[in-house]
A and B are shown apart, each in its own frame.
Chain A
C-alpha cells in the first residue's frame, strides 16, 4: 500500500464488512450491532454519508404509490384550476364588459369564488413545480479533506446518499432489485445494477461509445448471476453494491455535481472488486475508460449549458461593424479581406472550446497590463485557432476584461489581402487603408493568423516597408490591438529579431497533454460525426491521442489526433456505410499507414510470425543463434507493448569479425519487423571520426556553418519507426558516441533546429569489429562465447568505449566466426537465390552437393568470413551462366546443373 496516498474517503464497517447485516446464531439476519445498517460510509464535506434507503418490495411499492399519488394530485389540481379560472373568468369578463366590475367582485357568486380559489390553486401548483425543480437535497460543494477515524456509526448524523440520487438512478436500483427477485438471488449485486443500467437510454449510449453491445452484455450478466448465492430471504444490497453507491457518490461529488446520475453508477463499477468490473474488463473497458465515458457525458452536458448561456449573453452583440456606443466607423476595406469572428460566435457558428483557460488568462493579462498586442507561438495543430475561437466566444458574450468589451475580433486573411495586388504599391495601399479604418473605428481587435506570411510581402520590389512592418509600426504606437499567430520556427526565423517582436508580446502555446487533448477532442468530435454520419468509440479517440503522440510527430496534439480521427471516420464510412462505429482499430490502421508503423493490434497471423521469428530470421542469417534470439526477444517485447516506451525498442551491440552476418542480421530485422530493408537508416561511423562531423549527424545550431538538419535526426524525424544501424562504431569520435548516450537512455535527441526528435520507436543496432582478434584467438583456444563476451566487456572493449556507454546497450552480442557447416549453409542460400533469379527466366538451376562444398571451400576466408563467398559465387557461377545465356546455350525450360570444378552442365529441354 502506498503510504503517501491520501486515506480513502470510503470506510467499510469492520464488523459486517459493509453488508449492514449479520447472521445471528439461529441463522437469521440481524442489523449489524456496530454500524446499525449503513455498512459503508463515505466522507465528504465534513460529514459521513451512507445509503439509508431501504430497498424492499414494500419500499419500492411505497415510492411508486407516492410518486403516482403526487402526479395524480397535481393533475387534479391542474384541471380544477383551469375549470375554476374558466368559469370565474367568464363571469369577470361579463362584469367588465357590463361595467360592473366591483359589484361582480364583491357580490357573493360561486363563479367568482371559483375564480379566486382557482388563482390560489394556480399559485399553489406553480409552487409545487418550482419547489420540486429547485428544492431537493444536493451534494454539498467541497474539496477532498483529510478523513477522520470512524469512532461511532451514527446513522442519524450521516447524510443519506439515497436522497441525492436523481430519479433515474433510483429507478435503476429498483429495476435491479426486481431482477434479483426474478433471478431468485440473495443479494443485490453490482451485476444486477449493471444489467439495469444497460437498459437505460443514457447508459446505453455510453456503452455503445465503449464498443459494448448492451444486449451482449446482458447475456453475459444473465449467465453470471446464476452463479450468485440463491435467495434465502428478501434480497438486500450486498457489500460491494453499498461500496459502489458510496464510490458513485464520491465521484459525483468530486466532479462538483449536485446529484448522482446513472453515469456515475457505471463509472463506480470500474472501482470496485466485483465480477461486474471483471466483465467490463473482459470487454476491454477498465476504470480509466469508464472515467473517459463519464467525462464525455459531462463535457456534452456542460457544452449544452454553455451554448445556452453564451447565446443568451451574446444576443445583444451588434451583428455589424458598429459598436453599441455608436462610436465605431464603418470598415468596408477591412470587411472585404477579413472575417468577423465575434459575429460568427454570436451566431453559434464557431466550435466551442474546452480547456486553454491558462492561455486565455495570459492573453488577458498581457492585454490589460499595457494594451500590448499578443503573438501566439505554437506548432501547427497545437490549437492556436481554437484559442482565437474561444476569445471570440467570450467577446461575443462580453465575458472579457473591460478593454476588450464592446469590440469585434476580426481575422484578417493574408491570402485575400495579397491576392490581386499585382500593381506596384497596391498591397501597401490596402494595408494602409485597413490600418486607418481600424484606428478610426476603435472597436476592432485584429487577428492575423500566420503573421510570418506577411513578412517580406511587398508590391514595391523590396523597397520600403513590407505589410508586416506597416502593421507593426501602428501597433508600436498602441493605436489598436492585434492578436497574431505563428509557429516557433517562423518566429525564430523572421520575427524574433525584427520589428514585429517589439510590437507583440509572445505567448507560447504548448502541446496539450494527452488528457487535455482527449477532453478537447471529445468536445470537437461531434462536428465530424455530424458531417459524416458516423460515431466514434472512446477507444478510437483514446487511440488517436495515444498513437498520434507516439508516432505522428509532424503535428502536435490535438491537431494530429483530430486529423487521424477524420480520416479513420471517412475510411470506416466508405467500408461499412453510414452510422457506423469507428473503432480503435480503424484509427490504428490510419496511424500505421501514415507513420509507417505497426500501431494496430497483433493479428493471429502475426502472432504466429512473432512466435517463430527466429526461424524466419534464420532463413537469411546462418548461425549466430544468440544474436538472433536477442533480437527476436526484443521485437516480441516491443510488439507485445511490454517494453519501456521512453527508450528505443532495443539498443544492441553486435561484436565480431567481419563477414559473419552482423549487417545481414540488421537488414533482416528491418525486413521482418519494419516490413522493408528501406526502413534501415545506415550510418558508417568511420565518416564521423572528427568532432566537427557531429553537425552532419544532428544538424548545426544557429550561427554555425552547415545545414541545421542532420542526417540522422532528419532521417528518424521522417521515419520514426525504423532501424538505425551504426556500422563500425569504434571508428567514431568518442564525443560523437556521447550523443548516443542520450538516445539510448531517453529515446530523444535535439537537432540543430532545436526540435526534439523521438527515437523511442527505433531499434538501435551498433556493429563493431573491436576485439575481433581476441574473439578469434579465444575461439581457437576453445573458450565459450559467454567467457569471451565477459573478457571483451571487461578488457578489450574498454580500449574503444567508455563503460557507461557500453552499459546503455540492452544486449552485447558476440558473433562467432563461421564454421565450415555454416559456410556451406550460406552457399546453399546463395544458390537458392540464383535458382530463384533463373526461375523467373524460366530456367531451372541446381548445384550438386560436391559443387556446393567446393564453393564453400573456395569462398571462405578465416579473416573476411563469408564476404569472399559472394565473389566466389559470382566468378564461378554467375559469370558462366551469363556466357551460356548470351551464347544461346541456355534458354527457357532448360536446366543448368553446377558441378565440381565450376562446370555447368546444361540439360536442354526438348524443343517443341
Chain B
C-alpha cells in the first residue's frame, strides 16, 4: 500500500510540475459502499465505481439512454429473441495496481466470471465477502431470465435466455453488469485477499482507482491505455461532502468544480452567480399518488378520475417543486421513448369532479393520504404536497387525513394488501426502458406481495400489452404497444400522476464538456477545465 502511495504522490508531484496536468474535483454527496458495483444499489456508489473504473458489454451513449457497444463490439440476436451472441472487443487493457499486473487483455473468461459469480450460488466468488448479495441482479430478474452464459471462443460469448426480453441489452448496460477481471480475482484468491476485489478495484474504464480515504476523498488517475476516447483530465478527485449548502460553498470557493443535488432553495442564487453555470434536464422519474384500487369506492375508475380532477397539479408544481418540475400526465417521463404526448391530462375542474362523485353515489367520502417522511429525487416535500391535496379535496367534499411512517415502515406498510388510503411515492428509472417503469409499477405481476404496484391495480389488457412489448424486438412496434398502454392507464386512473422533477447540476464556469445523464449518473471522461 505504501509503495502505491509513494508512486501516486510522485505522480501527483510530477503532474504539479507540468503545467498542463488537469485535476478535476467533484464534490460528491455520499461515500461509496464499496467499489465492486455488483453488490450495491446506490447511485453514488456507481458514480464512484461502475462509471469511472469499469465497463459493460453494452453502454448507455453519454447523455442518453440509447444503448451502444461497450466491451462487446457487436451482437447478434436469434430469431426467437432468446440467444444473444456478443463479439467482444479485442485489445482492451485491464488496469494495474501495486499488487497486480495483468498478463492478458480482457476476454470471454472475464464476462463468464462477472455473470456467474452473481447468478451461481456455487461459484466460489458468490460469497467472497460474508453476507454479500446481488440485489440488482436479482431485482432485474436475471436469475429467471438467464439460462446460460457460454464461451464460444476467447472473443465470443453466447447468452441464452429462458424467454425473449426486449430490454435485455439495456439491462446489461446497468452498473451491476460491470465486467470484472477473472485474472485479478484469481490473483487475489492466491494471495488470500479476496476482499480487495471490493477495496482495490481493477477495471477497464477511463479512470484507474488510486486510493480511497473513507468518508473523505477518492482519487483516480486517467487510464492512458483506455480502449475508448481517453479522458481529457489527468486526475479525478471525489471530495465527499454530504451537506448540500456546504457543497455549494465549496463550489463557490473553487474547492471543487462540479456538485450534484443542490438544495432547491439555492437554485436561483446559483443561476445568478456569474462564476457558476447551472445545467438542467428533465429527470427520468415520476412522483405519484397510488389509490388502493381494490377497495371501494376507489375500485371505481370514475371515482379515481374525479379525485384526480379535484387536485390542482400546477399549484403543487409551483409550491412544492418551486417550478422545477413538469406536471405529469403519464406514468413515464417525456424524456423516455414511447412517451405518449397525445394523452390528455384530466383537467383541474372541482365542479365537474364533484358532480362525478355524486353521480357515482359517493358522498361524505373520507380517505387517507400517505406522505413519505423523506425527501426523494422525485418529491422534495411529500407532506406539503399532501396538505395541498387535502385542501383541494376538501373543496369537493372529500375529507383527507394525512398519515406517515418511518421510511422503512412506509415502504413495507404501503405494500400490505388491504392498505387503507392512497400512497404517495415515485420512481427513478434504472435503464431508460419503459418496461422498467410500467411493468415494475403497474403490471398485474407486481401487484402482489413483494411487488412495487402500490395501486394493486391489475388490468388484464394493460398487462397483456406490456407482456407483448417485452418480447417484441422491433422498437417501433414496442413504442406502439406502450403508447396504447398509456391510454389505458389514463382512462383507468390508478394513480394521480404528480410530476417529473428537474435535475440540476451546478458547476464552475471553467468546466466544459459535462454531459448530464438522464439516468442521473455523474461521469467525467468528457469534461475539461479551462486554466
Physical interaction between A and B = no
Residues of B within 8 A of A (CB): none
Residues of A within 8 A of B (CB): none
